[in-house]
Structure 1
Amino acid sequence: MSDTQAQARSSVRFTSAVARGLRESAMIAIGVVALVLFAALATYSPDDPGFSFTGSSTVVHNRIGPVGAWLADVLFFLLGRPAFLLPVALAASCWALLRRGRSEPGSHMNTTVRIGGFLLVLIASCGLTTLHWQPGLLRQTAGGVVGSLVGKGLAAGLDFLGATLLLIAAWMAGASLAFGMSWFSVMDRVGTWVWDGIGWLRTRGASARDAAEGRERRQARQEAVKSEQKKAALRAPPRIEPPAPLFEKSERAEKERQVPLFDPPRANELPPLKLLDDPPPREALYSAEALEALSRLVEMKLKDFEIDAEVVAVQPGPVVTRFELRPAPGVKASQITSLA
């Protein structure tokens, strides 16, 4: 029993190895054929001897030689410019073999459908190329014999626009079958990319506007600072008045300065004021620099309310500091008093 299972496992491994080897060999062969076909088409010259060539020249310009010249001439004669789709299809087949690890059930039907879709794409491409492209170096139309039959035949019955729309529809249907793509998914992705691009452009535009506004404001601020510096250099500093005394001596205190030498105080009189200590001298709360800075601060705060005024004098008090303002021409005093 164990020998049978071991033989079965060995047979499976051998089959998998053979399938992998065949798949890799096919991939290499198809890749080489695609490269050779592409080189033959890319180096095509109408002067090379070929299927549709008439003349005695034996010089071959094709990089694949006489075989490549004949092959390119035949393909361009039949298919025109869409002949380049053949090496592309072979390269896609090579890539599909590389990605597929092993044969899947029902893969033959899938392969048949994909081949049919590619043929539909090829025929529609030939027709569209015939209707919209010039032949160039080709002896036939840009779409070859197939393009002439399909494109011109449809244009004769449906006119140019109808033939173009029908061929585009056929091309899209063939692409869906050949590559398994969904055009609705493509439209969703394209729409997402478009909206993302619009959002990115809006963000970039907003950032650019913010940066421009920042530069303008910075430049305006610098100009305002320079203007204020020039004005400050020409403007006289505010006049700082000495602080008012805290107390003024009363008449009684002045009278009591003359002290009687011989009259004793009467019993019903109040005690003299000289018994009280004099108040200490008042110290300045702010220096001249601080008062000048406060004056500039008051002017700046008034400019926040679009009021242009100049502090010409400062009188510090024990509790309240008074600023004497000189409004600019056109500024009413009510504009200043309304801020209180």
Structure 2
Amino acid sequence: MGATTSGKRGEARRAASSNSHIQREVFGVILIALSLLMLLSLLSFVPGEATVVASGDPVAHPPRNLIGSFGALLAGGFFYAIGGAAYLCPLLLGRWGIRCFSQVPMSLELRTAGSSLASVVFFSAFLHLEANGIPTMTSGIIAQGIAGGVVGGTIAEGLRTVFAGTGAHIVIIAGFLVSLLLSAPLSLGEAVRRIPQSWATVREGAVALIPERSIEVEKTVSNRRVRGKSARSATLSDEDESVAGRDQESEVISGLPAPIIQPFRVVHSSRDVEDTDLEVVVPARESEDYRLPDPEMLSDPSGPLDRMSDEELKAQSEVLSRALRSFGVDGTVTEVRPGPVVTMYEFEPAPGTKVARIVNLADDLALALKAISLRIVAPLPGKSVVGIEVPNRSRETVSLREVIMSDAFRRARSRLTMALGKDIFGAPVTADLKTMPHLLVAGATGAGKSVSLNTMLLSILFSAKPSEVKLLLIDPKMLELSVYEGIPALLAPVVTDMKQAGNALNWAVGEMERRYKLMSKMGVRNLAGYNKKIADAAVDGELRGGDVSVHLGWRMEL
């Protein structure tokens, strides 16, 4: 019985809540409609029309107000009461109507409505103080010198009697701000703090409206200037010189080195085609005597450290087989693969043995082999065996020189190839950063994050010239990347100030967006396809689109 009563009460509360919500929405629609009617009435107000409508025949003298007689009377009444502040009323009504569709409590809505009404009254008083006695105000009753209407004039004159003109201004402005803060969810302090950000947004928007300077094409030039014949002659124009000067003067980060820029004007064979903006991002020219670092300067790889002999590996295999048999798992070790850090034992279980039984014995096998831990790969891909990785007694130190001088690294075509180390079998491991959307390095303290990061950077520096790869390094700790300060491949000095880091990252975002636009214009999906298309067009003489400004270097401006 009690449960039934409780359920009925819950249904009644939900029904009441639903009805209340519907009532709020209906009220909101009515308020929005009234705000639109009032706005149109005020905008189409004709001075003196309200008096004619009130005393005359609206059929014989139809009002010119967009809302008819009702609009003429409504606008005339509001202008008479509060003057120019009447224009705030439809805005506040519309805002109140929209808020009725939210879940704001009604008590808060009433407080907001009262504060909004007070702000209108104070604003009308302010208009009266500013425009009282000026006979050239725009319309109707305002032209009679009471821009704030009867209400605003009464309040303003009363305050002027008590506080004089200056004091009345202070009181009215303070009252307007207080009522505005109570009626709107805003903070003056937050508004002041956002002024610099708003100014930056406006400035960026203004810069974005400036049309692109010219059709820019950046392509690799090997130690010689672009020379052409009559149809491909390249001459340096005064306009390009001024543009290049502005490029070098603009700085995104304080202390950014000036980019290497070689602007030219290239005239290609004329064809009946539509002009197309092209812009190519390719490396700048470095000095002729620049050479890549020699891997020989790296430390020699240390020799094998106490590697296990074949006899020891065979004995360890027998120990592993006996340990598995003691746990009821029959089989044989078919192959042993010693590596620099771990040794892989390939164990072939007897037919009918479940792999899960072997996986669950990892801790027991580590105890039997006197190992700190071991890893079981069950099964090995492409084989009918289970891989058991056991740590070596002594770990080898993997040398960067050994990996960089390996065939896997030397044969890599990408300039962003990174040497990562060796796999468990001792084979060099490399990766192409170009194929990775993102690269995150994570790990516990002492796991080798700094070593891996420096290895990746050095791999790029050993295979790419400064004209081929540029680095933008941000080092909040001021310890990890300071050793790279001053190298030619740096796009900017190593950033350690977080305020400057924001500027650097903003430049990077702008550069990414610029490249996306260029690839979109060329109809390609990646930089490799873009560079190939431009290189082929340059060789075949098919670059079209009028004058093309060849921009060699890295654009530093946003």
TM (normalized to structure 2)? 0.34
Correspondence for 2:139: 137
Maintained 8 Å contact 2:111/2:183: yes
Residue 89 (structure 1) aligned with residue 87 (structure 2): no
1:177 aligned residue (182, 196, 202)? 182
Q: CA deviation at 1:51?
A: 8.3
Residue 66 (structure 1) aligned with residue 69 (structure 2): yes
Distance 1:22 1:185, change over 3 A: same
Correspondence for 1:116: 114
**Aligned counterparts of 1:88 and 1:144: Cα–Cα separation in 2:** 19
Maintained 8 Å contact 1:51/1:74: no
**Aligned counterparts of 1:30 and 1:43: Cα–Cα separation in 2:** 20
Report the secondary structure of 2:139's partner residue: coil
Maintained 8 Å contact 2:38/2:71: yes
Consecutive unaligned residues of structure 2, counting only runs of 5 or more, are 211-243, 251-257, 265-558
What's the Cα RMSD here? 4.0
How many residue pairs end up in the alignment? 216
Report the residue type matching 1:41 in the other structure.
L
Q: Percent identity?
A: 20
Report the residue type matching 1:26 in the other structure.
F
Distance 1:176 1:69, change over 3 A: same
Correspondence for 1:280: none
Q: CA deviation at 1:39?
A: 1.4
Report the residue type matching 1:129 in the other structure.
L
Correspondence for 1:76: 79
Cα deviations by residue, 1:219-273 (Å, 9 ceiling, x for unpaired)? 89xxxxxxxxxxxxxxxxxxxxxxxxxxxxxxxxxxxxxxxxxxxxxxxxxxxxx
Q: Show the 5 A alignment for 1:249-328.
A: none
Cα deviations by residue, 1:55-100 (Å, 9 ceiling, x for unpaired)? 8883311121212211111110010011111111111111211122
Distance 1:112 1:9, change over 3 A: closer
Maintained 8 Å contact 1:80/1:138: no
2:125 aligned residue (127, 133, 144)? 127
Maintained 8 Å contact 1:48/1:58: no
Maintained 8 Å contact 1:48/1:60: yes
Correspondence for 2:17: 16
Q: CA deviation at 1:19?
A: 1.3
Consecutive unaligned residues of structure 1, counting only runs of 5 or more, are 221-340
Q: CA deviation at 1:193?
A: 3.2
**Aligned counterparts of 2:194 and 2:245: Cα–Cα separation in 1:** 28
Cα deviations by residue, 1:106-163 (Å, 9 ceiling, x for unpaired)? x42x344323322321122112212334531122422111222233443455444433
**Aligned counterparts of 1:176 and 1:217: Cα–Cα separation in 2:** 53
Distance 1:52 1:176, change over 3 A: farther
Maintained 8 Å contact 1:127/1:150: yes
Maintained 8 Å contact 1:77/1:145: yes
Distance 1:62 1:76, change over 3 A: same
**Aligned counterparts of 1:157 and 1:4: Cα–Cα separation in 2:** 64
**Aligned counterparts of 1:208 and 1:160: Cα–Cα separation in 2:** 55
Report the residue type matching 2:25 in the other structure.
E
Maintained 8 Å contact 1:47/1:53: no
Report the residue type matching 1:125 in the other structure.
F
Distance 1:215 1:160, change over 3 A: farther
Cα deviations by residue, 1:27-53 (Å, 9 ceiling, x for unpaired)? 111111111111111111114143897
Cα deviations by residue, 1:181-237 (Å, 9 ceiling, x for unpaired)? 221122222244347778999xx9xx97444698998589xxxxxxxxxxxxxxxxx
Distance 1:6 1:200, change over 3 A: closer
Q: Show the 5 A alignment for 1:229-248.
A: none
Report the residue type matching 2:111 in the other structure.
V
Distance 1:113 1:216, change over 3 A: same
**Aligned counterparts of 2:159 and 2:76: Cα–Cα separation in 1:** 26
Residue 4 (structure 1) aligned with residue 5 (structure 2): yes
Correspondence for 1:98: 101
Q: Show the 5 A alignment for 1:181-260.
A: 181-194=186-199, 209-211=246-248, 218=262
Distance 1:208 1:92, change over 3 A: farther
**Aligned counterparts of 2:99 and 2:204: Cα–Cα separation in 1:** 37
Maintained 8 Å contact 2:47/2:139: yes
Using CA pairs under 8 Å that are at least 6 residues apart, name the structure with larger relative contact order, 1 or 2. 2
Report the secondary structure of 2:168's partner residue: helix
**Aligned counterparts of 2:204 and 2:74: Cα–Cα separation in 1:** 50
Maintained 8 Å contact 1:120/1:171: yes
Distance 1:217 1:98, change over 3 A: closer
Q: CA deviation at 1:6?
A: 3.4
Maintained 8 Å contact 2:82/2:124: yes
Maintained 8 Å contact 2:41/2:75: yes
Maintained 8 Å contact 2:53/2:69: no
Correspondence for 2:169: 164
Report the residue type matching 2:14 in the other structure.
R
Correspondence for 1:298: none
Distance 1:208 1:159, change over 3 A: farther
Correspondence for 1:50: 51
